[in-house]
Structure 1
Amino acid sequence: MLNMHVMNDLRRVDLNLLVVLDALLSEQHVTRAAERLHLSQPAVSHALARLRDLLADPLLVRLGGGLVPTARALELASPLAEALAQVQSLLAPAPFDPASTKRTFRLAMSDYGAALLLPGLVRRLREQAPGIGLSISHASREGMVEGVINGELDLAAGVFPDLPAELRSSPLFDEHYVCLLDRDSLPEDGVLDLPTYLARPHVLLEMRGSGTPEIERALTAIRERRHVAISLPHWGVAPQLIQGTDLILTVSSRGLLGTDPQHLRILPPPFHIPTFKFELAWHTRRGADSALQWLIEQMQDVQGQCAH
């Protein structure tokens, strides 16, 4: 049972303040939080003042043009988002109707994932759920996981070999690596062997230092290293760097769909690189979010149709 001290604390809490706090922690900006909640900026500022008094902590402190959460605020972020999600599921158990819902989902994915998932998904949403919008961001694997944990993201699409226990995932497809070379730079026999692979310069795709650890681990397993000449975070431009050069690009096979076969050649790597799963990841606290689960199902269905 709740003791008297906790009961007295709960009597002081206006649940609307918790909604404001959740928005402020997510947006880290009073004006954006006000727009998200459809409130005036003074109303949100007043609510923040009440929260600071209630919790005896500044919660958010000004830095540059925004607000930075205090240590106490960061402790509150995850349990607060989970509690609000549970309250929402209790108070609004009505069936989800995609045709009438108005909502924006925050998704994170690389341009590789966006190229594979977004065209079909956006067409599906425009047909079945025109009130649903998508806000897409780009981050490293670590950044995606952190964003889902702290509530900044609703969903992340990527490769997540070691997800924290509080996250759930669903695979979209299995993927493997291939090598892209300029046709004129191919060996005479047209075969890419390991000595040639190691002697050539390489293009490395990485986001904030996360790189493609699967490739490096596979090379380490055979006690070899490659020479990286160019490192960049953009999937889309990488194949264009190969034509007319001696560079090699080792990437996920689906990232090379539509490659020009007249000037470029796709070959298997000359060493074993394990296959991997491309997944969707979300927080366990969102398990009762029927709208999010519907979106996940649409992404799975769209990707399944593309695979056939």
Structure 2
Amino acid sequence: MNDLRRIDLNLLVILDALLGEQHVTRAAERLHLSQPAVSHALARLRDLLGDPLLVRAGSGLVPTARALELVTPLAEALAQVQSLLAPNTFDPASARRTFRLAMSDYGAAIILPGLIRTLRAEAPGIDLQISHASREGMVEGLLNGDIDLAAGVLPELPGELHSTPLFEERYVCLLDRQSLPAEGVLDLPTYLSRPHVLLEMRGSGTPEIERTLTALRERRRVAVSLPHWSVAPQFISGTDLILTVASRALNDIDEEALIVVPSPFEIAPFTFVSAWHKRRGGDQALNWLNRRIGEGIVRG
């Protein structure tokens, strides 16, 4: 009981910021506190927990083993306290909140335009922090509390995470119009004979395409590999390259120069989901945001 009486909830908030930033000045800026106040809080935390928690390395700080053990339970505890103190109802018009979302540039292009318009109209006090992460990075961020919501292709999630489908997507092929075969159909031999553009970020590539080709005992030659799709269509114009990509990624192509055709072999469609940690299930604001994301995609 004596130890509990010594605990100030603000200390846990400061510890969370310090572990996230690993820098006293940046943590102070994030919390809108002075640097001396954060340094004093760190000294109290060290005394309270009997561990240095963060040790100097160069111009920053490195967490100790004990501090690393605290990251996940600390994030869970703060989320539970926030949920406990939150009102039973959520009023978007008066809410003041910042949400941390993770998604690829493909997901951002589909989700953010409609979502941001909705927020400006219905919840102008809600701010967004968007980060770009691989599939593994999204899962890790949800588990350790670094992000509130992830949107992506997440077929296998640990039991601590929940998800809801946003839409089902299919693959198509993008070609320069002049490179389309005379008969107007892209067949498998032509597909395999051409060079390809591969969209691949660690943990977020297109394994569905490669798995399907492997099952067919075929391979394609990748001439260009890059980690984001937004510039990929520009590579196709005036070349013999083929881009096999999710169909929604091609909504705004130059239709005079480029053409979208079906894949010459069947590639399984995939489901794009939003995911969050189960500890956030009672967060009415996050639930509202998740619903608005889904509704915006349906309207779009």
Normalised by the length of structure 1, the TM-score is 0.92
Q: 1:244 aligns with which of 209, 219, 238?
A: 238
Whole-angstrom distance in 1 between the partners of 2:101 and 2:56: 27
Q: 2:63 aligns with which of 51, 64, 69?
A: 69
SS state of the match for residue 198, structure 1?
helix
Moved more, 247-256 or 109-118: 109-118
* Structure 2 residue 109 is matched with structure 1 residue 110: no
Whole-angstrom distance in 1 between the partners of 2:288 and 2:199: 32
Whole-angstrom distance in 2 between the partners of 1:64 and 1:224: 50
Q: C-alpha offsets along residues 39-89 of structure 1, whole Å, 9 cap, x if unaligned?
A: 211111111122122222222233444333333222211111111222222
Moved more, 66-75 or 273-282: 66-75
* Structure 2 residue 44 is matched with structure 1 residue 43: no
Equivalent residue runs for 1:89-168 within 5 Å? 89-168=83-162
Report how far residue 157 of structure 1 moved: 0.8
SS state of the match for residue 218, structure 2?
coil
Runs of 4 or more above 4 Å deviation:
none
SS state of the match for residue 136, structure 1?
strand
* Structure 2 residue 209 is matched with structure 1 residue 193: no
Runs of 5+ consecutive residues of structure 1 not aligned to the other structure = 1-6
* Structure 2 residue 277 is matched with structure 1 residue 297: no
Whole-angstrom distance in 2 between the partners of 1:61 and 1:51: 13
Match of 1:180 in 2: 174
Q: C-alpha offsets along residues 8-55 of structure 1, whole Å, 9 cap, x if unaligned?
A: 443332322112111222233322322332321111111112212222
| Residues 224/136 of structure 1: CA separation in 2 closer, same or farther (3 Å cut) | same
* Structure 2 residue 218 is matched with structure 1 residue 255: no
Contact 1:176–1:275, Cα closer than 8 Å, also in 2:
yes
* Structure 2 residue 205 is matched with structure 1 residue 203: no
Whole-angstrom distance in 2 between the partners of 1:285 and 1:209: 25
Whole-angstrom distance in 2 between the partners of 1:121 and 1:33: 29
Match of 1:277 in 2: 271
* Structure 2 residue 282 is matched with structure 1 residue 288: yes
Equivalent residue runs for 1:220-235 within 5 Å? 220-235=214-229
Number of equivalences: 300
Contact 1:203–1:229, Cα closer than 8 Å, also in 2:
yes
Match of 1:3 in 2: none
Whole-angstrom distance in 1 between the partners of 2:57 and 2:38: 18
Contact 2:281–2:287, Cα closer than 8 Å, also in 1:
yes
Whole-angstrom distance in 1 between the partners of 2:114 and 2:44: 45
Q: 1:22 aligns with which of 16, 31, 34?
A: 16
Contact 1:26–1:151, Cα closer than 8 Å, also in 2:
no
Q: 2:4 aligns with which of 4, 10, 14?
A: 10
SS state of the match for residue 294, structure 1?
helix
Runs of 5+ consecutive residues of structure 2 not aligned to the other structure = none
SS state of the match for residue 52, structure 1?
helix
RMSD: 1.6
Report how far residue 190 of structure 1 moved: 1.6
SS state of the match for residue 267, structure 2?
coil
